[in-house]
Amino acid sequence: MNLKRLLEGTVPDSLLHEIPTSYDVIGNIAIISIPPSCDPYRQDIALAILAHRRNVKTVLLRLPGREGDDRAPRLESLIGTSTVTEHREFGYRYRLDVSRVFFSPRLATERQRVFSSVREGELVLIPFCGVGPFVIPAAAQGSVITAIEKNPEAIHWLQENLELNRVEKQVRVIEGDALEILPGLNPAFDRVICPTPYGRDGVLPLVVSRLKIGGIIHFYTFKNDRQAGDMARRFPTNGCDVLFAGSCGPVAPGVNRYVFDLCRTR
């Protein structure tokens, strides 16, 4: 039963079509965006989520506006007060504070696609690594990871999650801005996984330069369909062939998160 069915008789019929059809669940916390027209019923929506998902203890409202440089979302509590949780994904555990760091459960299937291709012994570079959802599965595959993250709060949870999943010996953690750190790294990586933040596509030449010839990049970016097509056509000028391109889902009207799997050719 979806939220609209649960809210029939509580929310006017004229507004039911505006009730969100989906929301994110991270551990025991639900995060939902509610349109202004439904604002008077936000508490009813939160209660419906609790009825729909019995494991949820806290419901948070995602506020409009772009996230800051640390990528932490703007949230308001509707039910519950704790923003710290433990999320499980494909057998791995992630502790985090959803109000202080970025984490998208919607990328779970995409993360599995990527880490299933990682091979034992690979040298893997992961800038913008957050609390470790790409880092930990890749390390568990037996690769050696260099993880870069600017947000001190994310670094705190990353270190905890490495120990929680017993892969800390596989990972070198560097705190700082990837754009400043990347030029100082040896160009010896077999693979780069780059969950690029919004507006940071300029990092691409840097990550390409840190990769061995024949190495693989999983590059994420935010684009509309036309922009994604234009970008794909430009990759050869950066010395890369496109092996795979796909959408990881919408993030705003007309804008998707795209992934490009690239091979460095020169």
How do the domains of the chain map onto residue ranges? Answer: 3-82, 89-264
Please give the pLDDT value at position 9: 93
- Residue 175 buriedness (CB in 10 A; 0-12 / 13-18 / 19+): middle
Looking up tokens 């996984």, which residue turns up? 193
Segments of the chain with pLDDT less than 70: 1, 66-69
Write the pLDDT tens digit of every residue in 191-211.
Answer: 999 999 999 999 999 999 999
- Chain center to CA of 146: 18
Looking up tokens 């709060």, which residue turns up? 153
pTM for this prediction: 0.94
Beta-ladder partners of 226:
none
Name the amino acid, one letter, at 254: G
Please give the pLDDT value at position 237: 83
Please give the pLDDT value at position 68: 62
Beta-ladder partners of 246:
259
3-state secondary structure the chain: CCHHHHCECCECHHHHCCCCCCCEEECCEEEECCCHHHHHHHHHHHHHHHHHCCCCCEEEEECCCCCCCCCCCCEEEEECCCCEEEEEECCEEEEEECCCCCCCHHHHHHHHHHHCCCCCCCEEEECCCCCCCCHHHHHHCCCEEEEEECCHHHHHHHHHHHHHCCCHHHEEEEECCHHHHHHHCCCCEEEEEECCCCCCHHHHHHHHHCEEEEEEEEEEEEECHHHHHHHHHHHHHHCEEEEEEEEEEEEECCEEEEEEEEEECC
Cβ atoms of 33 and 21 closer than 8 Å: no
Which overall architecture, per CATH, does domain 89-264 show? Answer: 3-Layer(aba) Sandwich (3.40)
Please give the pLDDT value at position 176: 97
Write the pLDDT tens digit of every residue in 110-150.
Answer: 999 999 999 999 999 999 999 999 999 999 999 999 999 99
3-82 CATH fold: GMP Synthetase; Chain A, domain 3 (3.30.300)
Please give the pLDDT value at position 66: 60
Please tell me if the domain spanning 3-82 has the same topology as the one spanning 89-264: no
Please give the pLDDT value at position 53: 92
Please give the pLDDT value at position 1: 58
Rounded distance between C-alpha atoms, residue 145 and residue 176, angstroms: 16
What is the chain's mean pLDDT, rounded?
Answer: 95
Please give the pLDDT value at position 137: 98
